[in-house]
Amino acid sequence: MAPSRQNQAPPYAKDEKVLCFHGDLMYEAKIIEVSVKPGQKPEDAQYRIHYKGWKASWDDWVSQDRIRKFTEDNKQLASQLQAQARMRTQGPKGSKKGVKTNGSEMSSARGSEERAAGSSSFGGRGPRRGRDYELESEDVFHARPSIKLIIPDILKALLVDDWENITKNNQLVPLPHPHPVSDILSDYSEYEATRRPAGSSHVDILDETLQGLKEYFNKSLGRILLYRFERAQYAEVYKKWQQPEDPQFHGKSACETYGPEHLMRLLVSLPELIAQTNMDQQSVNRLREELVKFCSWLSKHTTEYFVSHYESPPQDYIQKAKD
């Protein structure tokens, strides 16, 4: 007879070397304690993590979805995420592809086709390393803006898939999206509002947050949320928004045309964007709580909202996009 799930060992063990997500980056760590409460499933265990090279005061309790096995593939992914984060902070000077920095071609480092999924540095209070895991000085680290936003693992994986589909496979998200951002935010509003006292400030905060996401998305899509390969598609869509003879697009906004794939790019960019505002800490904390709730809800509805297949454009589009 197979052992019951409750009698099985947790997937990670004490003293095991692992990689651990902090924000949207991964760092080398060691499991120093494993906690499984009576009646708890093995996959619900909590792990006390010690980040290599940092004081014990930085030790953290995390769940299984924050941890990855210490394999060559996962080390490569960790290095890639860190390298892309450095590219973002360096801006155009760090790019080796000769991407134009004027006009709409590249209004931020995220305009490059080398933008990796989840590449924005969350600036969370946690260790950061380069490709060779060299440590950044704590003084420099503490001087960075700090807004921590945890993205569920399944959404990070979708971001990586999105990046590969577009930048490696030369594919595009089909537009108009069958589940545009406006519909997703509306569905979430209906779901979440029923869980808050009617007419309360909590409902007002929810409405303000979702309205803010719409405005940020509409204003930032063409500026910082597109890969280079998508810009020709965006130019075509932008024209269709102005053409009355095309009812699928006419009069619509970015929120009504693009879907969760592009919304996720905004969400991983928000910590950096928020750090550049004059929001007070209380407002930032409240916004972060709302975004964490939304991301958690979205992670449970990925099969419903995200497209399962990207479209392959004709060869003339591919040539135009690369010129």
Relative orientation angle of helices 231-241 and 201-224, to the nearest 10 degrees? 120
pLDDT for residue 142: 47
Structure confidence by residue, pLDDT tens digits, 117-133: 333 333 333 444 444 44
Rounded distance, CA 214 to CA 122, Å?
Answer: 21
pLDDT for residue 286: 86
Rounded mean pLDDT, 89-103: 40
Owner of token pair 């309205």: 211
Rounded mean pLDDT, 73-95: 66
Rounded distance, CA 98 to CA 241, Å?
Answer: 31
Whether residue 102 is predicted with pLDDT greater than 60 in this model: the reply is: no
pTM of the model: 0.59
Q: What phi and psi values does residue 17 have, to the nearest 5 degrees?
A: -80, 130
Q: Contact, 49 vs 29, CB < 8 A?
A: yes
Structure confidence by residue, pLDDT tens digits, 285-321: 888 889 999 999 999 999 999 999 999 999 999 988 8
**Beta strands 17-22 and 60-63: pairing type?**
unpaired
Q: In the structure, what pLDDT confidence band is assigned to residue 90 with cuts at 50, 70 and 90? A: low
Nearest Cα to 229, choosing from 293, 290, 147, 310? 310
Q: Which two tokens stand for residue 171?
A: 């594919």
Rounded distance, CA 233 to CA 179, Å?
Answer: 18
Helix, strand, or coil (residue 51): strand
Whether residue 101 is predicted with pLDDT greater than 50 in this model: the reply is: no
DSSP string, 56-84: GGG-EEEEGGGEEE--HHHHHHHHHHHHH
Nearest Cα to 84, choosing from 134, 155, 76? 76
Which of the pair, 14 or 134, is modelled with greater confidence? Answer: 14
Amino acid at 313: P
pLDDT for residue 96: 38
